[in-house]
Amino acid sequence: MNLEELEEKRKKYLMPCYAHYFQEMLLIERGERQYLFDGQGKRYLDCFAGVAVVNCGHAHPLINQRAFEQMQSLVHISSLMLSSPMVLLAEKLAQITPGDLNRIFFCNSGAEAVEGATALVKAFTDNHQFIALRSSFHGRTLMALSLTAQKSWRGKGPYAPGVIFVANPYCYRCTFNLTYPSCGLACAEDVEMAIESCTNGEIGGFIAEPVQGNGGVIVPPMEYFGIVGEIVHRHGGLFIDDDVQCGFGRTGEWFGIQNFNVIPDLMTLGKGMANGLPLGAFVSNDVISRAFKPGQHFSTFGGNPVNCAAALATLEVLKEENLISNSRRVGEIFLEKLKNLEEKHPSIGEVRGLGLLIGVELVKDKKTKEPYPQGLSQILEFCRENGLLIGKAGPLGNVIRITPPLCFTEENVEEACEILERGLRQIEEAL
């Protein structure tokens, strides 16, 4: 079916809430590792990976083969009975997640993982108050959205009570107008002040992404989570690391939080875990997970054998193809090249990132830092026309989000930067 016919059906049958990146709809028909192909066979270099999901690359033969083999024997049984892929995947995850995190619950998405993790925190601490960061994104279900502080995702409410938002560690636009490191990490201290002023001194949990993805690729100072973790524990709370977007090699480590040398009490996982098949999980340790009694939490499809088989293959590919070290190495090269562009181009306010999770913040003026969201829309279209797919992020709608498959090469970086630079020149004509 061609694009026009599909477009007609889309307009008729899909909910209008679906957002689309481009003025003219893009129909992708095929993927091959870091490349995508449209209906006319045009090749796109993918710096998007289906919103940071397809970490091993599109249509990875081994992952597809393992999922297909599993489909031929058993597609679904539910967690009320045993299937080996789910148990074996739990064992593997327990081996690679940090510290004593060794108990896994499988679900279908990042939002569902956040719902489950917060329910476990409530069960363990008997406290329903949470601290979350501004510009956070944790998903679109009620609790996940209640922990999300971005205007464009929130409606009129009401949301779950007991959530307190604090300043995010966003050095480029510091809430306190301070400069790192002389700021003394006022944003971390803000957590203590919020607990002291808005609660009786005790909280259930603190939730944060290691690097805020949708929030504009905000990389906190390295000591941030150590300071905040200590404050949270001192006030009886648990630290939930939302590693949904940062996990599975995206930031150059298995999990984003490992960049910060901190062991969280719980982790939420999703996106890259099964390289595109829907699978989420939350993880905790022996002590905390015992707060959930048998039957207290359930998900019909969670731990589905096909998706778990794909996830086992994904972990194998990430390791065997050295994709995590590649993410770190190529990510550093990418970041350096983009920083070179930052020096030359008036429309780049800041380039930041970890591994292959990179943000380029566009501004109209480097001094005033006035955001340039129109520039972002324009460069997105320009890149698409020139065979490069990039993402967008940030509450101000002005951050290019770069999240390619982790098999990205140095040559790919060259190609992407060359297209981006031409796009920057174009958007700068209007300044």
Ligand X SMILES: Cc1ncc(COP(=O)(O)O)c(C=O)c1O
Q: Which is nearer to ligand X, 353 or 423 (CB)?
A: 353
Is residue 229 within the footprint of ligand X (CB under 6 A)? no
Q: Interface with ligand X includes 253 (CB under 6 A)?
A: no
Minimum distance of ligand X from residue 160's CB (angstroms): 16
Using CB under 6 A, which of 124, 137, 225, 239 touches ligand X? 137
Cβ of residue 392: shortest distance to ligand X, in angstroms?
A: 13
| 270 lines the binding site for ligand X (CB under 6 A) | yes
> How near is the Cβ of 34 to ligand X at its closest, in Å?
20
The answer to the question of residue 264 lying near ligand X (CB under 6 A) is no
Asked if 394 touches ligand X (CB under 6 A), the answer is: no
Contact status: 242 vs ligand X (CB under 6 A): yes
Shortest spacing between CB 280 and ligand X, in angstroms: 6
| Chain Cα centroid distance, residue 379 | 22
Report, in Å, the least distance between residue 391 CB and ligand X. Answer: 11
List alpha helices for 264-322, DSSP H.
286-289, 305-320
Nearer to ligand X, 93 or 413 (CB): 93
Cβ proximity to ligand X: between 212 and 398 the closer is 212
Contact status: 259 vs ligand X (CB under 6 A) = no
- Secondary structure element (H or E) that encloses residue 253, with its range: none
Binding flag, residue 168, ligand X (CB under 6 A): no
Candidates 163-171, 193-201, 209-217, 384-392; binding stretch for ligand X (CB under 6 A): 209-217
Residue-wise burial string across 371-401, b where 16 or more C-beta atoms lie within 10 A, e elsewhere: bbeebbbbbbbbbbeebbbbbbbbbbbbbbb
Give the binding range for ligand X (CB under 6 A) out of 37-45, 135-143, 184-192, 339-347: 135-143
Task: Name the residue among 107, 105, 116 with its Cα closest to residue 283.
Answer: 105
* Nearest by Cα to 152 from 214, 220, 85, 89: 214
For ligand X, what does the binding mask look like between residues 83 and 122, x meaning CB under 6 A?
Answer: --------------------------xxx--x--------
Nearer to ligand X, 245 or 299 (CB): 245
Single residue of 213, 247, 256, 272 touching ligand X by CB under 6 A: 213
C-beta neighbour count of 182 within 10 angstroms: 6
The reply on whether position 302 binds ligand X by CB under 6 A is no
Distance, CA of 278 to CA of 272 (rounded, Å): 9
Q: Residue 55 interacts with ligand X (CB under 6 A)?
A: no
Give the full edge-to-edge strand order of the sheet including 388-389: 28-32, 35-38, 43-46, 388-389
Q: Which residues pair with 282 in a beta bridge?
A: 105, 268
Token reading at 326: 């590649």
Would you say 113 or 227 has its CB closer to ligand X? Answer: 113
DSSP code at position 55: T
Please tell me the total number of residues recorded for the chain in this structure. 431
CA separation for the pair 75, 198 (Å, rounded): 48
214 binds ligand X (CB under 6 A): yes
Token pair belonging to 375:
């520039």
Candidates 55, 83, 129, 245; binder of ligand X (CB under 6 A) is 245
For residue 137, the minimal CB distance to ligand X (Å) is 5
Helices (H), 168-280: 186-198, 224-234
Nearest CB to ligand X, comparing residues 44 and 137: 137
250 scored as a contact of ligand X (CB under 6 A): no
Of 50, 57, 139, 272, the residue at the interface with ligand X (CB under 6 A) is 139
In the complex, least distance from residue 255 CB atom to ligand X, rounded to whole angstroms: 12
What are φ and ψ of residue 262, in 5° steps? Answer: -130, 140
- DSSP secondary structure of 64-133: HHHHHHHHHH-S---TTS--HHHHHHHHHHHHHSSTT--EEEEESSHHHHHHHHHHHHHHHHS---EEEE
Which stretches of the chain bind ligand X, using CB under 6 A?
Answer: 51, 109-111, 114, 137-139, 209, 213-214, 242, 244-245, 270
